[in-house]
Amino acid sequence: MTDDDARRDPAPEGRRRPLLWAALAAAITFVSIVGLWYRQQADTAAISSATSAAGLIIESQAKGTSLTAVGRTHGLDEPCTAWLVDVRAEANSPAYAVTTGRCVGLTDTMTVLMGEPVDGASIDFNAFAPLTTAVLPNLVTTSIDEVVWASSRGDDLAILQLGSTYGELSQQGVDPISLAAPPGAGERILTAGVPVQSVPEDQQYLRATTCSAGKPADVVEDVWWWPGLVTSDCQGILMGSWGSPALNPAGEAQAMVTTTSLGAQDGSCGPGAPCEVHDAQVALVPDTTYLTPVAELGACFPQGTFTLGGGCPLEDPVGVTPASGPRVAAPGTTAEVRLDRRLAAPELVSDKHGPLGSTDCAARAGWSDAVPARDWELDLPMPQQGWMLVCAGSPEQPTPVVIEVDPGS
């Protein structure tokens, strides 16, 4: 096997061994008893709590596994977790990392960002806790040079181009994480990330927890509509955990943490309280973490370089319809869905609407005839109760607008 073949191999001997659940559990147990430095402060929830951080991982247990390629970000819009993705690139090719769109500041349903330069941001790989405060962590730090693609509409995802090549990172013991099909219901996974919420700064290192995947679900959270997320019972998900990969025992990324209902105080379906949609029922499911499948991202790098089109499922910003409407409307009123005239729109726009849970934006049936964007607007009568979904644009690239019918509004 040549050096280049070894770098392309998702599990070369001596560089990538399977993530052994027992070994990592032992690491977490060991770290928990090393001393007070590793323990949560007295006013922090116990490790068994849904709102506490997961167990710390130390380098001696995780060296040579996929966990070396999971890092903490600095200098983005909010602290997050990012991971080095294997795109089958040459060793001298710029490296790519993956995180969520919200980490780079995208919180609306109308924006797809491409080719945005980044200044002053970085990722620390190999972000493992040292055994004592007298030992410096063995971090591998690289700059984030560009947001190659990002959005939080439909897919809460960001692809980052780094200031290092794959070869340079590999020489420092950081090899990319291969992609795999999403986990099936009941399948065991490991989520790894760097939570920062209520975590002292000197303990903001990689933490991991094993958990089980559930069935896919469509999720609504505030203005976001995320169909087909993987449900899970993963714990320890706090601010900073967004973007954490969900890994199978071979160390491959099957999905990525998008949002969680851990710690949610009510079922409002607002920020921090995502709700599942099943038929006509919309409800918060407690203690559930939602994961975005990532297997199809491989098609976005046909020659080791990010390219839209072909088999890549990510949206082209040129085709985005900048439609928006009220988040909440009163029963029996009319909700106005309009285009943001300050933003570019496709020449033609059509629409489709119906109850949330039974309306599929991607299905061609039910779409109106297309009209010039300058003439398009929608005044939609609200029912007496329930949720409505408006799809604007086209079946190929719809903009979802979710409206809750609330008697108290």
**Tell me, what's the pLDDT at 132?**
72
The CB density around residue 33, as the number of other CB atoms within 10 Å, is 8
- Residue range 245-273, pLDDT digits in tens: 999 999 999 999 999 999 898 888 999 99
Which residue(s) pair with 192 in the sheet? 208
For the chain, give the percent of residues with pLDDT over 70.
87
Separation of alpha carbons 211 and 127, rounded Å: 21
The residue with greater pLDDT, 191 or 62, is 191
Q: What is the CATH number of domain 3-300?
A: 2.40.10.120
- Give me the phi and psi of 12, to 5 degrees please: -65, 145
Angle CA(329)–CA(332)–CA(336) in degrees, nearest 5? 50
Q: Note whether 255 and 237 are within 8 A (CB).
A: no
321-405 to CATH, choices 3.40.50.10860, 3.40.50.720, 3.30.450.20, 2.60.40.1930: 2.60.40.1930
Q: What are the CA-CA distances from residue 4 to residues 9, 10, 92, 170 (Å)?
A: 9, 12, 11, 11
User: Does the pLDDT value for residue 31 go beyond 60?
Assistant: no
- 19 pLDDT band (50/70/90 cuts)? low
Q: Note whether 76 and 103 are within 8 A (CB).
A: yes
Residues 6 or more apart whose Cβ sits within 8 Å of residue 178 = 10, 11, 86, 251, 252, 253
**Tell me, what's the pLDDT at 58?**
85
Separation of alpha carbons 147 and 155, rounded Å: 15
Range of weakest confidence among 62-66, 83-87, 155-159, 362-366? 62-66
Separation of alpha carbons 210 and 224, rounded Å: 27
**Tell me, what's the pLDDT at 51?**
54
User: Does the pLDDT value for residue 226 go beyond 70?
Assistant: yes
User: Does the pLDDT value for residue 390 go beyond 70?
Assistant: yes
Domain spans, the chain: 3-300, 321-405
DSSP tally for the chain: helices H, then strands E: 4, 23
**Tell me, what's the pLDDT at 123?**
97
Kindly report the pTM of this predicted structure.
0.87
**Paired tokens of 91:** 């060793």
- Residue range 79-119, pLDDT digits in tens: 999 999 999 999 999 999 999 999 999 999 899 999 999 99
Query: Which residue has 């924006």 as its token pair?
Result: 111
